[in-house]
Amino acid sequence: MNTFDPALLNALPDIELLSARPLTGGLSNRCWLLELRDVPTAMCSKAVWRPIAESSVAFGLSREREHQVLKNLESSNLAPRSIALLDKGLLVEWLEGTTAADNLSDEELLQLQVDIHALPVPCWRLDVKQKAAHYWEQIDIRFKSSSLQQLFAHFQHLSIQSWFDDTCCHHDLGRYNIICQPEGHKRVIDWEYAAAGDPSLDLALTISANGLEREKAVAVYCRLLGTREHERWLAAVTAWQPWCRYLAMLWYYVGATVWPDNSYQTEADKLAQELFRELL
């Protein structure tokens, strides 16, 4: 979609669209930054349009669930506010600030992880095998080599240990999804993968997404959480790490199916080769 259709906002008659431009950097989405004017008050604001599109369906994303998560987190000051859930997408508050990089320490990142795990638990759960099966269904047949089919069968037949009680999990807590605001607040965006789940899986995904050293990150997380179960957390994260790469591999193959961008297949093939060598 090269232009934004103002008719998408027809259900909000008090909102006037001033401008729209596509946002860069999103992987699961192709979102838009909108400038809006509230007609009764003449106040102007910015918002992000998160569409229901072919890509969001392919990745198994639900704007309704994302909206519910953001509504549940309104008092936390950790997430943007959901403005409106509409037929074709979700309108979300735009957060001013800069995407986190070296200005966010590993300890600050892991404190955000601890804070997220203390939030209200969503009423739906991430089932890793179900998610993998959904991705598999979306992947074009041309990518399903015999070795990839072996990998899929291997993981789908593995038993999954339950390590810890479910918490609220973001499942994509990379620095690219953290906004450092001018007043010092750190806020997290892109809650589309959020669900109830094992917090050790969420921690393993965070370690992978940010290239953290596993033992050090687990030690810092446990200290911030105030738990003495360091060895259990480390064992859990270690057990989840192949699953993290497996899900990432499938995700990239879905991306290669949805978008004509060779980088998705390149990354997927790299992960597939690594997993095949290690496991099979």
- Give the per-residue pLDDT at 167: 98
Q: Residues 58-70: pLDDT tens digits?
A: 999 999 999 999 9
Q: Residues 254-276: pLDDT tens digits?
A: 999 999 889 999 999 999 999 99
- Give the per-residue pLDDT at 29: 62
Q: How many residues does the chain have?
A: 280
AA identity, residue 61: L
d(CA 154, CA 132): 12
Strands (DSSP E) along the chain, which ranges? 15-22, 32-38, 43-51, 82-86, 89-93, 98-99, 167-169, 178-180, 186-188, 195-197
Tell me how many degrees the CA angle 131-24-96 measures, rounded to the nearest 5: 100
Q: pLDDT band for position 26 (50/70/90)?
A: low
> What percent of the chain lies above the pLDDT cut of 70?
98
d(CA 198, CA 89): 28
The structural domains of the chain, ordered by start, are: 6-94 (3.30.200.20), 99-279 (3.90.1200.10)
pLDDT higher than threshold 90 for residue 9:
yes
d(CA 258, CA 44): 35
SS3 content of the chain, % helix, strand, coil (to 5): 45, 20, 35
Across 18-22, average pLDDT: 95
pLDDT higher than threshold 70 for residue 206:
yes
Question: How confident is the prediction for the chain on average, in pLDDT?
Answer: 95
Q: Residues 220-241: pLDDT tens digits?
A: 999 999 999 999 999 999 999 9
Q: Which two tokens stand for residue 53?
A: 């599109």
Task: Please give the DSSP secondary-structure letter assigned to residue 184.
Answer: S
d(CA 247, CA 268): 10
CA-based nearest residue to 53, from 248, 244, 171, 192: 192
Angle between helices 230-258 and 262-279 (to 10 degrees): 140
- Give the per-residue pLDDT at 256: 96
CA-based nearest residue to 135, from 39, 21, 239, 271: 271
CA-based nearest residue to 13, from 35, 43, 37, 49: 37
CA-based nearest residue to 243, from 280, 197, 208: 208
Is 128:86 a contact under the CB 8 Å cutoff?
Answer: no
Q: Residues 73-126: pLDDT tens digits?
A: 999 999 999 999 999 999 999 999 999 998 899 999 999 999 999 999 999 999
Is 6:17 a contact under the CB 8 Å cutoff?
Answer: yes
d(CA 118, CA 24): 31
CA-based nearest residue to 69, from 125, 111, 29: 125
d(CA 249, CA 265): 9
- Give the per-residue pLDDT at 2: 65
Across 136-163, average pLDDT: 97
pLDDT higher than threshold 80 for residue 245:
yes
